[in-house]
Chain A
Amino acid sequence: MFTQQLVNGVSLGFVYALLALGLALAYSTSRVINFAHGDVFTLGAFVGLGLQRHLGIHFGLAAVGASIAVFLGGAVFSYHVLWRLRTSLERSVSTIALGLGLRDGMLIIFGSDSQSFDAVYPTGVIGIGGMVLPSSLLIVIALTALLLVGVGLAVTMTSIGIQMRAAAQDPELAAMIGISTRNIQALGFGSGCMLAAAAGVLVGPVWQVYYAAGSPVGVKAFTAALLGGFGSLKGATLGGLMVGVLEALLAGYVSSTWKDLGVYACLLITLLLLPRGLVHTGPSRVG
């Protein structure tokens, strides 16, 4: 029972880690917490669903298409909106407003009913060491882990990734050596949105897709990102896994009603006791 819940938690945790990494990418480059992140996750799932169902394209291509579309949307929002707003209050409110608009836009366009992808992942089960695990669960773990490693490599090994890290550490110095801060911010915010959309499409075939699905997921991603210190791949993965395992254990041993409450309490406690997270890489001042 415990090991089964642990694997469920790890599966959830990798999804939260992907979302947390997206939040950390956007925050480190744009210095804004994307309060619309959960809704972008749902938007990605809906765009992927639309591409698969209405255009009849393969799930893999639909996932790539949805991620690119959402990346472009996020980059345009950063380039034309966030760049022009200078106070953190305006930036926060603009992403909050974006989330509100996206959620209600999805309600109008896609309706309030839950929708699901056509059969994508194998439906069988795999027995490992006495445990019976759905193969879809393992596929989600493998794909999200692959994406996490890929993003980690892209950020640390490629020229654009190094520019993003430079702009995140010192925007003014980065501008002095010819790095366009505006473009890098757009790239970072768009990449954050892209990861949220990718997570949405990957879990879409396992979870039900509905317009408000992103709200609780977004709060859990904030918790994971905070635990991870809003700055590193290692931190995001650690935070995501902790939140996922906590949620799965609370659902398994306490009650599914109280699992969300447990995670929200974890968010508040982290903010109060460890506002810089477990793996601190960000600025020394909180806020």
Chain B
Amino acid sequence: MRIVRPFLALAALGVCAAPAVFTLSPTAWRVASLFFLAVVIASGLHVVLGLTRIVSLCHFALVGVGAYTAGYLSLHQYTPTVLSVFLGAVAGGTVAFAIAFLTRTLADHYLTLATLAANEILVNVFRSATNLTGGVNGMTGVPPLSLMGHELSQPAMYYPVVACAGLTITFFVRQLESWPLGHALRAMGDVGSQIASLGISESRLRMRGFLLGGVLAGLAGGLMAHIDGFVGPESFGVGYSVLYICFLVLLGVGRLRGVFVTASVTVLAAEALRALFAWQMVILSAAAIMAMIARRAPRPVPVLQKGQGA
């Protein structure tokens, strides 16, 4: 019941909002779709950062891997769009797994540096492999999603698909937290390499966490490619990963509600407060740092205060 309650609340909210929903403009439908897309991206990062406590700076590059894979398959190989999105998720997961496998001996800052290097390498490949990705100009003309022969080209048409994906993924991640794998991932995040004393391989667990995060990132990328009809390298810079990480930290690392707030603020507030958007990053970074300091308990007072020593 504890797990079902938030979804009942969301369903009730949906029923109440239904009359208003039908009057929405295409822009509002699009913003709502982008919100659920951000939920999928943030859910993947939640698995990596929130559960395993790894600061992954290559999450958006993995979104890019999914987007380019799905876009290329749909545009050049005429693969059905749903299959392309699925294969985009597989590609995101595969690349994430490869990164985790290569960096399995690294920890803390070194691992973060490795994810930064991986992000820069992937973005440079997106820019340089012109034949596959369209280079700096990006890939244009990616067809819209289609289901059973119907093209979902309008925001109101693809919204249900993206919303279903967002809610399903959130439900899955919430369930995951109560499964043995979720507990193991969280335990590894809390105690680090000490988990090896229980006979659990830290590197294998980390690879699973990365794989899950990569699959979700790739899925979001595949959906993004078909919604936008365009995939460009500038959408996958390290700055976006940093933005999401800051929000998740601000809301408390490891809390699933942070996923929804992150998605809300990055998409809805950015649309609503375009005038203030320029300052958003500055305010956000300061807020994230302040939040981390505020959560800290004060340092214990030293036993020997100045002037009290023998």
Do A and B assemble together?
yes
- A contact residues vs B (CB 8 Å cutoff): 32-33, 35, 81, 84-86, 88-90, 92-94, 96-101, 103-105, 107-108, 215-216, 219, 222, 226, 257-258, 260-261, 264-265, 267-268, 271-272, 275, 286-287
User: B121–A99 contact, CB under 8 A?
Assistant: no
A201 to chain B, nearest CB (A): 23
- Choice from A89, A98, A108, A267 contacting B285 with Cβ under 8 Å: A98
Beta-carbon nearest neighbor of A106 in chain B: B282
Beta-carbon nearest neighbor of A265 in chain B: B121
- Choice from A32, A257, A267, A271 contacting B128 with Cβ under 8 Å: A257
B247 to chain A, nearest CB (A): 10
User: A97–B106 contact, CB under 8 A?
Assistant: no
Residues in chain A near residue B116, CB distance under 8 A: 35, 219, 222
User: A261–B128 contact, CB under 8 A?
Assistant: yes
B96 to chain A, nearest CB (A): 15
Q: How far is the CA of A81 from the CA of B292 in the complex (A)?
A: 9
B49 to chain A, nearest CB (A): 8
- B112 touches A (CB below 8 Å): yes
Residues in chain A near residue B53, CB distance under 8 A: 89
- B110 touches A (CB below 8 Å): yes
Residues in chain A near residue B114, CB distance under 8 A: 268, 271-272
Q: How far is the CA of A99 from the CA of B118 in the complex (A)?
A: 19
Residues in chain B near residue A97, CB distance under 8 A: 242, 246, 249, 284-286, 288-289
Beta-carbon nearest neighbor of A267 in chain B: B117
Q: How far is the CA of A101 from the CA of B286 in the complex (A)?
A: 7
B245 to chain A, nearest CB (A): 6
Beta-carbon nearest neighbor of A32 in chain B: B109
Main secondary structure of the interface of B (DSSP, over half): helix
A181 to chain B, nearest CB (A): 12
Residues in chain A near residue B245, CB distance under 8 A: 93, 96
B107 to chain A, nearest CB (A): 3
User: B113–A33 contact, CB under 8 A?
Assistant: yes
User: A275–B296 contact, CB under 8 A?
Assistant: no
User: B242–A99 contact, CB under 8 A?
Assistant: yes
- With A89-B53, A93-B245, A287-B109 as given contacts, are A108 and B289 in contact (CB-CB < 8 Å)? no
- With A35-B112, A100-B243, A100-B246 as given contacts, are A89 and B289 in contact (CB-CB < 8 Å)? no
User: B106–A96 contact, CB under 8 A?
Assistant: no
Beta-carbon nearest neighbor of B107 in chain A: A287
Beta-carbon nearest neighbor of B281 in chain A: A104
- With A93-B249, A104-B282, A107-B278 as given contacts, are A287 and B110 in contact (CB-CB < 8 Å)? yes
Q: How far is the CA of A104 from the CA of B113 in the complex (A)?
A: 21
Q: How far is the CA of A84 from the CA of B296 in the complex (A)?
A: 7
- B55 touches A (CB below 8 Å): yes
User: B113–A258 contact, CB under 8 A?
Assistant: no
Q: How far is the CA of A237 from the CA of B112 in the complex (A)?
A: 23
Residues in chain A near residue B120, CB distance under 8 A: 216, 219, 260, 264
- With A107-B278, A272-B103 as given contacts, are A98 and B108 in contact (CB-CB < 8 Å)? no
B229 to chain A, nearest CB (A): 26
- Choice from B57, B102, B111 contacting A287 with Cβ under 8 Å: B111
Q: How far is the CA of A226 from the CA of B249 in the complex (A)?
A: 27
Q: How far is the CA of A217 from the CA of B112 in the complex (A)?
A: 17
Q: How far is the CA of A66 from the CA of B145 in the complex (A)?
A: 53
Contacts A90-B292, A101-B284 aside, 6 further interface pairs with beta carbons under 8 A come to A89-B108, A96-B245, A96-B246, A101-B285, A257-B128, A264-B124
- With A97-B246, A101-B282, A264-B117 as given contacts, are A275 and B292 in contact (CB-CB < 8 Å)? no
Residues in chain B near residue A105, CB distance under 8 A: 282
- B293 touches A (CB below 8 Å): yes
Beta-carbon nearest neighbor of A268 in chain B: B117
Residues in chain A near residue B118, CB distance under 8 A: 268
Residues in chain A near residue B285, CB distance under 8 A: 97-98, 100-101, 104
- With A33-B113, A93-B246, A108-B279 as given contacts, are A286 and B106 in contact (CB-CB < 8 Å)? yes
- With A90-B292, A93-B245, A105-B282 as given contacts, are A261 and B124 in contact (CB-CB < 8 Å)? yes
Q: How far is the CA of A98 from the CA of B287 in the complex (A)?
A: 11
- With A100-B242, A101-B282, A268-B114 as given contacts, are A85 and B292 in contact (CB-CB < 8 Å)? yes
User: A286–B103 contact, CB under 8 A?
Assistant: no
Residues in chain A near residue B55, CB distance under 8 A: 89, 92-93, 96
Residues in chain A near residue B102, CB distance under 8 A: 268, 272
Residues in chain B near residue A267, CB distance under 8 A: 113, 117
